[in-house]
Amino acid sequence: MENGFYTVVGQAEDLTVIEKSKFICYLKHIESEDEARQFIGEIKKKNSLATHNCYAFICDKTGINQKCSDDGEPQGTAGVPMLEVLKNKKLFCTCAVVTRYFGGIKLGKGGLSRAYSNAVSDCILKSKVVKMVFSDFIDITADYETYNKVLNIIGKENITVISTDFKDDIVIHIVCPIENTETIIDKISEASSGKVKIEKLKRDYYGY
């Protein structure tokens, strides 16, 4: 798989009205099927008087664990179109719920499919989306004299500073895509004349 996928940050909501029917899309970042189910349950409880609460989710980092439901709409007109939007956008670890309040006018199967897929697409546009990239989490320990030299390298490279601890020495907690790690380590070591301590902590996905 390509190094990375996309996901939403936090939670988003968007309302669309089509032929007097209200379609409310809710999007949320989730890390497991249990989290997805909990979120779906919360939305159903919040909209207990709605005609339908349809959903789709991809709850893992590989895009394999995916589920959807039409919740009473004609088969294939809600959950699958919603799921296809998530798949096409490569939005993993994401759950979408679309609540429909029926307005009295039938939309037909094609109209329903478009309504549910567009509801998700429109909500994505209003969401904060980040790319999750497999990255190295690294601690750099430097003295105060060397600190500015390290900062200079960090400012020029694809490095994210998570936090900095100022004690007897300075510990900079950084994260960078794995393909950049060795080059960055070499540049920091060279700029500091080998005076820094560099410790790789873990590898995991990080949102850029």
The set of residues, in sequence order, having a beta carbon less than 8 Å from that of 193 and lying 6+ positions away, is: none
* Cβ atoms of 98 and 23 closer than 8 Å: yes
> Token pair for residue 99?
């609540």
pLDDT in tens, the chain (208 residues): 457 899 999 999 999 999 999 999 999 999 999 999 999 999 999 999 999 999 999 999 999 999 999 999 999 999 999 999 999 999 999 999 999 999 999 999 999 999 999 999 999 999 999 999 999 999 999 999 999 999 999 988 879 999 999 999 999 999 999 999 999 999 999 999 989 999 999 999 999 9
Q: Tell me: do 122 and 83 sit in the same domain.
A: yes
Give the 3-state DSSP-derived string for 5-73, with helices as H, strands as E and coil as C. Answer: EEEECCEEEEEEEECCEEEEEEEEECCCHHHHHHHHHHHHHHCCCCCEEEEEEECCCCCCCEEEECCCC
Domain with 137 in it: 133-207
Structural domains in the chain (count): 2
- Give the three-state DSSP class for 126: coil
Q: Tell me: do 74 and 138 sit in the same domain.
A: no
* Cβ atoms of 77 and 113 closer than 8 Å: yes
Q: Tell me: do 111 and 53 sit in the same domain.
A: yes
The set of residues, in sequence order, having a beta carbon less than 8 Å from that of 104 and lying 6+ positions away, is: 20
